Amino acid sequence: MTLLDSRTFHVHHGQYHTLYANPLGRVFDENLFDPENPELRAEKVSQGGRQAAWFVDLPIDMQGVLRFYRRGGLVGKVVRQRYAWLGAGNTRSWAEFVVMQYLHARIPQHVPAPLAAMYQRFGWSYEAAIIVERVPNVKPLATCLDKADPQVVAKAILAMHEVGVWHADLNAYNILLDAFDQVWLIDFDRARRVTMDDKKRQGNLQRLQRSLQKVCGPDGGLWWQELNRAYLQQ
């Protein structure tokens, strides 16, 4: 497996395999992935993450978001957190870490830094988690549509597409606005680096359209039309 940043450390400890990016360094500490660890002062994330995400205090004077990978749909009702083992590079945490590292190096104003990614193997299956930088004072697009500028959001999405990344679930909760109206894109689980043709670009935008219409009703649809127009004009 090729890592995109030479400053990333791979630590193997028993069943645990972990990637650490600076500034976490190479010291292994499985307690970083334990929301019951009192030193993390973990606070459950109320929206998104399939009820498996926490805000945590990291030992580097930085806050992060710890998220465990959980299945959705019918399969998730039977097998909630185990995935088939297909190699380290194909684990959900490894793949997301690498995509985020690539994006953060190119558009850091729109994508938070990945800090650590872990998988724990159990024979032919595994469980996984990731820790990413927490962006302070943000609100999901779904809750602040009336204050969000469609042109600014379109510019952020376009920036992601222009560096060749397809987002697997671009919805109204995976686009955040901070106190300065800066746009952040999150949750790159199953995202891929690809050649972004028109079909893939519109697929991402139409996924957002469905989400906005579901969450915000007719206002969401009208707002999306402005965003789509701005995207096509840039």
What confidence category does residue 102 fall into, taking pLDDT thresholds of 50, 70 and 90? very high
List Cβ neighbours of 110 (8 Å cut-off, separation of 6 or more).
Answer: 103, 156, 159, 160, 182, 183, 184, 185
Q: Span 139-233: which CATH code? A: 1.10.510.10
CA-CA distances (angstroms) from residue 197 to 166, 171, 201, 208? 10, 20, 6, 17
Does residue 174 contact residue 186 with C-beta atoms inside 8 Å?
yes
| Residues 166, 92: Cα–Cα separation, whole Å | 15
pLDDT at 76: 38
* Catalytic-residue membership of 149: no
Q: What is the mean pLDDT of the chain?
A: 89
DSSP string, 103-145: HHHH-TTTSPPEEEEEEEEETTEEEEEEEEEPPSS-EEGGG-G
Structure tokens at 207: 């996924």
| Average pLDDT score over residue span 9-19 | 77
Strands 192-193 and 165-166: antiparallel
Residue 57 has pLDDT above 80, yes or no: yes
- Can you state the percent helix, strand and coil of the chain, rounding each to 5? 40, 25, 40
Q: Between 61 and 202, whose confidence is greater?
A: 202
Q: Are 215 and 227 in contact (CB under 8 A)?
A: no
Contact 82, 69 (CB under 8 A): no
Q: For residue range 162-219, what is the model confidence (pLDDT) as tens digits?
A: 999 999 999 999 999 999 999 999 999 999 999 999 999 999 999 999 999 999 999 9
**25 pLDDT exceeds 70?**
no
- Look up tokens 């690539």; give the residue: 102
84's tokens:
């088939």
Distance CA 198, CA 33 (A): 39
63-72, 118-127, 215-224 — most confident range: 215-224
DSSP calls for 186-210: ---TT-EE----HHHHHHHHHHHHH
Place of tokens 């334990």: 34
> Which of left, alpha, beta for 50 (phi over 0: left; psi -120 to 50: alpha)?
left
pLDDT over 80 at 58, yes or no: yes
Q: Can you name the residues that pair with 94 across neighbouring β-strands?
A: none
Choose, from 5, 34, 149, 169, the residue flagged as catalytic. 169
Closest CA to 16 of 95, 70, 76, 93: 93
Amino acid identity of residue 105, one-letter, is: A
Would you list the domain boundaries of the chain? 9-133, 139-233
More confident residue, 179 or 75: 179
Higher-pLDDT residue of 63 and 46 is 63
**28-32, 81-85, 124-128, 140-144: range with lowest mean pLDDT:** 28-32
